[in-house]
Structure 1
Amino acid sequence: MYSPTPDDWHEANRARWDERVAIHAASDYYDLEAFLAGKDALRGFELAEVGDVTGRTLLHLQCHIGLDTLSWVRNGAAQVVGLDFSEPAVETARGLARSLGLSPERAAFVASDVYDAAQAVPDSAYDIVYTGLGALNWLPDVGRWAEVAASLVAPGGFLYLAEFHPVTDCLDDETGSRITYDYFSRDPWVDDSPGTYADFGAATVHNRSVEWQHPVGEVVSALAAAGLRIEFLHEHEATLFARYPALVRHPDGYYRFPADRPRIPMMYSVRASRPVSG
Structure 2
Amino acid sequence: MTDVDWLRLNRENWDDRTSVHAASEYYDLPGFRAGRSTLRAFEVAEVGDVTGKSLLHLQCHMGQDTLSWARLGARVTGLDFSPEAVGTARALADETGLDARFVVSDVYEARAALGRERFDVVYTGFGALVWLPDVWRWAEVVASLLADGGFLYLAEFHPFTDVVDEDGRTLAHDYFHGDGEVYDYPLTYTDGPPLTRTRSVQWQHPLGDVVTALVRAGLRIDFLHEHDVTLFQVFATLRRAEDGTYRYPDGHPRLPLTYTLRATRA
Please report the TM-score for the alignment, with normalisation by the length of structure 1: 0.93
What's the secondary structure of 2:230's corresponding residue?
Answer: coil
SS at match of 1:8: helix
In structure 2, the CA distance between the partners of 1:250 and 1:25, relative to structure 1 (3 Å rule), is same
The whole-number CA distance in structure 2 between the counterparts of 1:41 and 1:142 is 26
Deviation for aligned residue 1:122: 5.7
Structure 2 unaligned residues grouped into runs of 5+: none
1:229 aligned to which of 220, 244, 253:
220
Aligned structure 1 segments of 4 or more residues deviating by more than 6 angstroms: none
2:85 to 85, 89, 98: 89
Over the aligned positions, Cα root-mean-square deviation in angstroms equals 1.3
Q: Secondary structure of the residue that 1:148 maps to in structure 2? A: helix
8 Å Cα contact 2:188/2:194 also seen in 1: no
Q: C-alpha distance in 1, partners of 2:204/2:178? A: 7
| Alignment partner of 1:46 out of 43, 48, 51 | 43
Aligned to 2:149: 156
Distance 1:229 1:132 in 2: 19
Residues 1:82 and 1:221: Cα distance change in structure 2 (over 3 Å) = same
Partner of 2:168: 176
State how many pairs are aligned.
266
1:105-254 correspondence runs (5 A):
106-121=99-114, 124-173=117-166, 175-199=167-191, 202-254=193-245
Counterpart residue type for residue 101 of structure 1: G
1:100-147 Cα distance to aligned partner (Å, 9 max, x none) = 123xxx310000000000111265200000000000000000000000
2 CA distance for matches of 1:135 and 1:208?
17
- Contact persistence 1:82–1:109 (CA under 8 A): yes
1:259 Cα offset (Å) = 2.6
- Alignment partner of 1:186: what SS? coil
Letter in 1 for 2:14: W
Give the partner amino acid of 1:90.
V
Alignment of 1:20-59 (within 5 A): 20-59=17-56
Question: How big is the shift at 1:6?
Answer: 7.3
Which deviations, in whole Å up to 9, do the C-alpha atoms of 1:72-123 show, x marking residues without a partner?
A: 010111x100000000000100001111123xxx310000000000111265
Local SS of the residue matching 2:164: coil
Q: Which stretches in structure 1 are left out of the alignment for 5+ residues?
A: none
CA distance 1:213–1:5, shift in 2 (3 Å): farther
Deviation at 1:209, TM superposition (A): 1.0
Offset at 1:245?
1.7
The Cα of 1:244 is off from its aligned counterpart by 1.6
Match of 2:94 in 1: 98
- Is the CA contact 1:5–1:188 (under 8 Å) kept in the aligned structure 2? no
Matched, 1:264 2:255: yes
Aligned equivalents of 1:180, 1:260: Cα separation in 2: 24
Code of the aligned partner of 1:86: S
Question: Are 1:67 and 2:64 an aligned pair?
Answer: yes
Counterpart in the other structure of 2:10: 13
- Name the aligned partner's letter for residue 145 of structure 2: L
Q: CA deviation at 1:176?
A: 1.4
Whether contact under 8 Å (1:236, 1:266) holds in the other structure is yes
- Provide the rounded CA distance (Å) in 1 between the counterparts of 2:245 and 2:184: 28
Determine the C-alpha separation between the residues in 1 that align with 2:36 and 2:237: 29
TM-score, normalization by structure 2: 0.97
